[in-house]
Structure 1
Amino acid sequence: MHSINFSKVSVRVPVDGTDTHKTLLRDVSLDLRERRIGVIGANGSGKSTLLRLVNGLVEPSEGSVNVYGDDTVAAVRKVRANVGFVFTDPLSQLVMPTGREDVELSLRRSIRNTRERSARAEQVLLRFGILHLADQSIYELSGGERQLLALAAVLAVEPRVLVLDEPSTLLDLRNRELLRRTVAGLDQQVIMSTHDLDLAQDMDRVLVVEAGRIVFDGGASEAVSRYRALCAAGVDGKR
């Protein structure tokens, strides 16, 4: 099964200090087969929850999620081996002092030999055009360089699916375009949430999320138009 399948998925979380629950996603059913899939929606709409379900960072309260035939709860380790996840802020996932060490850490399970692991890390860094930054402190790098490094560390283990949660939020225009070109050239199936509607236009299929529901699922241009209309309606409703 070469798809990501959501079957009647709902996610609820307890509200602190009460016996009530808040619903983050409600009754979502999807079959995601396209190479590039975008997810757009307002803050708090459920975008990040939807993405985190794909690699088991969030478990369904109801329903199930399967990634290429593996259930994200019952087979979470196998799912996470197949799904790479890149967070909005790369500093939240870069854990080593330098890029070289971070990529080597990603490779530690798959390549036991130290010399082979080091050589492979260099190849990965070279592929992303950041080998010259390999031994700099991650705190000396720009936002775009950190984001590329986070991508390199995740992709070093060659997952089948790459999930990106608003990856351009902290980037300037030049680094956003660099990210855009890099993502376009990847072999992996990509699922990306974004507030950048230009990035969303690059996608083969775009989901619009509103109040925990998928309110549109289709082509990029129509999805962006639908989202703009939702935003305009929301602004008008507050006047």
Structure 2
Amino acid sequence: MSQISIQAHDLSIRFKERLLFHIPQLSIGPQEAIYLTGDNGVGKTTLLKVLSGLQKPTTGKVNLQQASLLTRLLKGKSQGGVIYMHQTPYMFDGTVFDNVCYGLKFTINNRQMRRTEAINALRMVGLETLADEHISVLSGGERQRVAMARAWVLKPGVLLMDESSASLDQESTERQVVLAEDLLDRGTSLVITSHQKNALTALCRRQWTISNTKLIERADLQLVDEDSNEYAYA
């Protein structure tokens, strides 16, 4: 799987007279896991959408080593792209299998191989017995599992997880962790937002906090106390 990195410079988002944030520079290297925190309304979701290319910044530019996911899908290559996972992920009108398998049609020509890959992903999130059920029968937590399986089969270079573990039970969170760990091992970088620490955020060794329109980075989470060793991207 191709590894990618993200470099951004002079990023800002402004809504009329209100400056949401200004980030002179940030970087996400290959195979990194970053925990993004901050109070409600400071711009965590907006930042992830900017990094994924879903929203244009007021100023600044985001540079990727590899092409965006959309470009790679159009070229028949999805691996190594950037995927944004919302707290309430969009689901296509179809079966659970259809939702997981959707992106694979751009990368795997053989129908049986696509089914094998999708079923394997559903097995990893504990939903293989529901593969042929309509997506509407799933609970919110089960839909998050489907979204994680759908991201996993595409093997993204960067996965942006926006409150994807919110309101999940322990089993669903643990299923997410298994796939997230596998992606990290394969070279994927993760950015995870969450209002509270859990098994998913425990994968992170870097922490970003948006506060007073600035992005503050805390040092290695596994090695230092989180209340020390802070510095701001300013």
Q: Same fold (TM over 0.5)?
A: yes
| Residue ranges of structure 1 left out of the alignment (5+ in a row) | 14-19, 227-239
| Mapped contact 1:56–1:79 kept (Cα < 8 A) | no
Moved over 4 A (4+): 78-81, 221-224
| Mapped contact 1:5–1:32 kept (Cα < 8 A) | yes
2:213 maps to: 212
Report the TM-score when normalising by structure 2.
0.78
| Mapped contact 2:9–2:61 kept (Cα < 8 A) | yes
2:129 maps to: 132
How many residue pairs get aligned? The number is 215
2:40 & 2:158 partners in 1: Cα distance? 24
2:116 & 2:4 partners in 1: Cα distance? 31
1:131 & 1:212 partners in 2: Cα distance? 44
CA deviations on 1:23-81 (whole Å, 9 max, x unpaired) are 222134112225211101111111111111221011122121112255x7xx9634994
SS in structure 2 of the partner of residue 162 of structure 1: strand
Whether 1:195 aligns to 2:195 is yes
SS in structure 1 of the partner of residue 148 of structure 2: helix
Q: Give 1:83's aligned amino acid.
A: V
| Mapped contact 2:148–2:176 kept (Cα < 8 A) | no
Aligned runs of 1:69-218 on 2, under 5 Å? 77-78=71-72, 81=78, 82-90=81-89, 93-186=90-183, 187=186, 188-198=188-198, 199-218=200-219
1:8 maps to: 10
Taking a change above 3 Å as real, the CA distance of residues 225 and 176 of structure 1, as seen in their structure-2 partners, is farther
CA deviations on 1:105-149 (whole Å, 9 max, x unpaired) are 222222344444333322332344321121223233233322111
- Identity among equivalent pairs (%): 27
Aligned mate of 2:26, from 19, 30, 38: 30
| Mapped contact 2:4–2:157 kept (Cα < 8 A) | no
Report the TM-score when normalising by structure 1.
0.77
Q: Give 2:9's aligned amino acid.
A: S
Q: Give 2:7's aligned amino acid.
A: N
State the 1:160 CA deviation.
Answer: 1.4
1:168 & 1:124 partners in 2: Cα distance? 18
1:235 maps to: none
The structure in which a higher percent of residues are helix is 1
Query: What value does the CA root-mean-square deviation take over the aligned residues?
Result: 2.8
| Residue ranges of structure 2 left out of the alignment (5+ in a row) | 229-234
